Structure 1
Amino acid sequence: MSDNNWVTRQPKLKGESMIWFHGKISREEAEQLLKPWKTGQYLVRDSTHFPGDYTLSVSVSGKVEHYHVIYKDRKLTIDEEGFFDDLAKLVEHYEDDADGLVSNLITPVPKKGYAFKENNVQFHLQNEGWAINRNEIIVGKVLGSGQFGEVKEGEYKSKKVALKAMNESQRNLDPFLAEASIMTQLRHRNLVQLIGVALGNPVYIVLEFMAKGNLLDYLRSRGRAVVTKKQQLDFSKNIAAGMSYLESKKFVHRDLAARNILISEDDTAKVSDFGLAKDDTVMMDSGKIPVKWTAPEAVRKNIYSAKSDVWSFGVLLWELYSFGRVPYPRVPADNVIAYIEEGCRMQSPEDCPEHIYKIMQQCWSFQPENRPTFHRISTQLDSLTPFF
């Protein structure tokens, strides 16, 4: 139920919020800051040779390319074909599309002194136009509970919304608001849309309302008599498309499961719950891990990547085609990793198409590098449409 026409995003105009703008630094300093030169890392600096202009420095395949950003006729341009009102709009364009650059802009290198601490997350949200007037929110019934507190139904500007509320026992807002900060960077039809954040007491993260709840409950409450094979394939394609986008943006979800997929009024599946999401390959502190959904290298070594998300997607597919059964139904959680390391995998759910089970098996390759990318999975699923 995505209706984004009523969401107004204010332009990013304030330099303080542009974490990738480093001001007067040299070409050599820029290249040092961009090390280890991973593809898509970037920063913007004042031009050394052309006062009043800028330089966009982008890493690709172990080197750095520098682009002259020209200020001309009160607009900014790199190629004198696309013109932008300000640096933020220029960066946003090249985040979405390389459009002639060596890579699209993926990971900003933060300017000196910037970190997610104190009020920086709130500052980021306010200065990039995501703070909304809490007086315009009508709070409704409780829908459930999340990592930090309750999730409530609400209304904002005459539209139904979901409200994630900060638990009053949580004193540090930044971990809670980090999810919203991540969502400001992600825009895709198969990701739950952030509408804004209402600061105050309590703090609300305001999200698009997903009328049919989470996928796990959807499957269990409707079952085989209601959920068709076409719906199952459509849900699979929706989720793979959303994850392919996350993969392209170098984000790792880390908690992909049917419980974290939401269903809209028009039966579109969208990935949600970005509370654990991080950029690129990350290490996670030991703690409570959903072992039955988690890749073996993530459980054993706490190393998460897009390929560990792919493993979880295979488990999610198994949930989808078993109509919400708990994975590894006859294996205790404590024994799951040993079971996997012995070469065992879950059997195909009853009536699951062979093509789908093959994708699950590919996702469950023990070596992460042998698993497919989400882009490949999405392409495979798209090709299955004629079979249903």
Structure 2
Amino acid sequence: MFKFSVHEYPTGRYQWFIKEKAKDLILGRINAEIREWCRMNMVENINVELKAILQESFSTFHSEMEEGRKELSEFEISLDKRYSFDKCTRDRNFLDDFEDTVLSWPILPIAFPLSFVITAVLSPLLIPLVIKDVIDKLDRHGYNENKQEQMQKWCLEFLKEYNQQSIQKLIEETYLDDFITRVKHLTDYVIPKRIEADEKYIHHIIEDLRNSSLISRQYRPLENRCMFILGMIMLLDMDLEFSGFKHSDEYIGTHNTADTEIGRGAFSDVYSTEILIANKHKKAAVKTFRQPLEGNEESYIQLAEVHNLRRFCHTNIVELYGISYKFDKEGTKYLQIFMELCDYSLDDIIFNDANRSWKPCCMFENLEECQEAFNFFITILLDICRGLLYIHNKGFVHRDLKLSNILIKDGRVKIADMGVAKEVSYILGTLTGTLTTIAPEVYRGKLYGTEADIYSLGIIMWEMWYCEAAYSTMEYNYLNMHEFADCIKEGKRPTFNTSFAPPSELKNMIETCWSPNPSVRPSAENVFVELSSLVRL
């Protein structure tokens, strides 16, 4: 690269002139070599390739945003008919703001500095800007005696400047400074403004005078779409978390023995099986969903249980072993959840004489005669409270606490079916649960919290005492859901109408748990303390 002919060596009367000519000559050769290397390796296509990668990465989110824009714009129109928004809210399209924030701000700092670096490499005018003056003091007499030796010395000094440090400095002074400035603008200005706008938006929604069913119908398509997107994100997260568990031959492997069905739910079938975890055989329950995992809005419902169980680790909550996928002949993917195998559900024990050796407490005349049943009653309820207290302390509400979702293993409680459990801050008043254990505030469509689980616990305590399903009497048999909900909202509760009702302390606690006023209900910890005191009765 630095083989110069005799006539190329710079000459002149002035030292500065020789130095400048030598610098131009050397940089010209370096630039020519770099441009040829870039041409051979098609470096000029980097921008096109990066743009294609970014477009592909963001295309899914962009299309989802477009659908959300459409649905949100319809919602805004209906609100504008009723309310007069302030100028800030009226003049801004928040989804447009958000899209600009997501797509423009993070991408521009990437696209601009990269193109700048490439331009700096290809342009002979920009390279000298990052190269310091490496030509030392010129001895014109020595230079004239051996021009070739001096030029080679200068060439080597220039090449030393083309190293990792100089390139890193260029990136830091262009890309990082600009990137940090943009991120700071995003965090200090754009995001706070969006939060402020969202708070105003939510304030208008809260003050909306429309009935809940109309609002629910309007929100439902958008909510379903959000759940679908959230399901895709959760699936990606779980693919990373349980990547090993998906390979049945490596971590979770079912044996050739036929699996035994142990239950059927609204969305899934549950079988007992034997699995291999860390070279140890272990009995397990496997829940297989009937709907495909991908491509439907129910994927969020399926994945929610796994998502929740991953966050819980407690003696009184069923343990998650891992997940797997089952494929049909067409290659459709179905989610399988491998969990701790239990002996019975509390539903099996309470409502099936064959699974218990004792009579219900209500069939005796005093506590001395029903010690076995009463001890079981207290032991199980204390375990339920332990598990429930753990869930509530995590900031969650179970939302479907009932006998069939309380499993028994070796005489200890395992709370199951965490699929509908949700963090208190994310509860929107959606009707969720089983008719007979749903709290009145849930039927009313109000925002609710852990108190809804305590209401369900009160119903469970009544059912355990009488070994009878709540609201199973004739007066409720022919009611539809709305009529039944009206009864609950009016204060109807199961009655204590047998010869031996629960002791007054227990009866009062049950009635407090299912109080129509959530603020009156005790916490899971308070119920635990009260039940512990009953052990001495």
TM-score range, shorter chain: 0.5 to 0.7
Give CA-to-partner distance per residue, 1:259-283, whole Å, 9 cap, x none: 111111x111121111211111512
Q: Which residue of 2 aligns with 1:216?
A: 347
Specify the code of the residue in structure 2 equivalent to 1:348.
F
Provide the secondary structure at the position in 2 that maps to 1:275.
helix
Aligned mates of 2:248, 2:300 — CA distance in 1: 19
Alpha carbons of 1:31 and 1:231: their partners in 2 closer, same or farther (altered >3 Å)? farther
**2:506 aligned partner:** 356
RMSD value, Cα? 3.3
Q: Which amino acid in the other structure matches residue 346 of structure 1?
A: P
Pair 363,331 (structure 1): closer, same or farther in 2 beyond 3 Å: farther
Instruction: Tell me by how many angstroms 1:328 deviates.
Output: 5.4
Match of 1:329 among 470, 473, 478: 473
**Quick one: distance in 2 between partners of 1:204 and 1:137?**
12
Distance in 2, Cα, partners of 1:141 & 1:29: 59
1:233 aligns with 2:378: yes
Report the 3-state secondary structure (helix = DSSP H, G, I; strand = E; otherwise coil) of the residue aligned with 2:352: helix
CA distance in 2, matches of 1:130, 1:233: 41
Distance between the aligned counterparts of 1:322 and 1:203, measured in 2? Answer: 38
Which stretch shows the higher mean deviation, 255-264 or 227-236?
227-236
3-state SS, counterpart of residue 528 of structure 2 = helix
Separation of aligned partners in 2, 1:374 and 1:322: 22
The letter for the 2-side match of 1:218 is: I
| Counterpart in the other structure of 2:285 | 162
Counterpart CA distance in 1 for 2:510 and 2:190 is 43
Segments of structure 1 that go 5 or more residues without pairing to the other structure are 1-23, 37-112
How far is 1:220 from its partner? 1.8
Q: Which residue of 2 aligns with 1:378?
A: 528
Please report how far the alpha carbon of residue 317 of structure 1 lies from its aligned counterpart in structure 2 after TM superposition.
1.0
Query: Structure 1 CA distance, aligned partners of 2:447 and 2:241?
Result: 32
Match of 1:145 in 2: 264
Say which SS state the counterpart of residue 261 (structure 2) adopts.
Answer: strand
Q: Deviations over 1:65-110 (max 9, x none)?
A: xxxxxxxxxxxxxxxxxxxxxxxxxxxxxxxxxxxxxxxxxxxxxx
Deviation at 1:295, TM superposition (A): 0.7
Q: Secondary structure at the match of 1:379?
A: helix
Q: What percent of counterpart residues are identical?
A: 24
Q: Give the strand-richer structure, 1 or 2.
A: 1
Match of 1:206 among 338, 346, 352: 338
Q: Deviations for 1:142-193, whole angstroms, at most 9, x for unmatched residues?
A: 1111232210111112111000002145653332122111110011111111
CA distance change for structure 1 residues 354 and 144 in 2, over 3 Å: closer, same or farther? same
1:250-329 superposed matches below 5 A: 250-264=395-409, 266-281=410-425, 282-285=427-430, 290-301=434-445, 303-327=447-471, 329=473
Q: Give me the whole-angstrom Cα distance separating, in 2, the residues matched to 1:129 and 1:30.
A: 36
The partner residue of 1:248 within 384, 388, 393 is 393
TM normalised by structure 2 equals 0.48
Checking the alignment, whether the CA contact within 8 Å between 2:443 and 2:489 is kept in structure 1 is no
Which structure would you say has the larger RCO, counting Cα contacts within 8 Å and 6 or more residues apart? Answer: 1
CA contact (8 A) 2:301 2:420 kept: no
Partner amino acid, structure 2, of 1:120 = I
Q: CA deviation at 1:371?
A: 1.0
Q: Report the counterpart of residue 127 of structure 1 in structure 2.
A: 240
Q: TM-score, normalised by structure 1?
A: 0.65
- Mapping of 1:28-39 within 5 angstroms? none
- 2:519 is aligned to 369
Question: Do the aligned partners of 1:137 and 1:155 also contact (CA within 8 Å) in 2?
Answer: yes
1:127 deviation in Å?
2.7
- Cα separation, partners in 2 of 1:252 and 1:30, compared to 1, 3 Å: farther
Partner amino acid, structure 2, of 1:238: D
More displaced stretch, 151-160 vs 298-307: 298-307
C-alpha deviation, 1:128, in angstroms: 3.0
Following TM superposition, by how much is the alpha carbon of 1:214 offset from its aligned partner in structure 2, in angstroms?
A: 1.1
| Counterpart contact for 1:134–1:199, Cα < 8 Å | no
Bigger share in helix = 2
Change (3 A) 1:237 1:28: farther
SS in 2 for 1:205: strand
> Which of these residues, 331, 346, 350, is aligned with residue 494 of structure 2?
346
Classify 1:363/1:121 alpha carbon distance in 2 versus 1 (closer, same or farther; 3 Å).
same
Asked if 1:195 is matched to 2:312, the reply is no
CA offset digits 1:234-281 (Å, max 9, x no partner): 1111111111111111111111111111111x1111211112111115
In 2, Cα distance between the equivalents of 1:358 and 1:130?
Answer: 50
Whichever of the two has the greater Rg, that structure is 2
Q: CA deviation at 1:324?
A: 3.6
- 1:200 deviates by 4.4
Matched-pair contact (CA < 8 Å) for 2:452–2:518: yes
Correspondence 1:47-62 to 2 at 5 A = none
Q: Look up the match of 2:331.
A: none
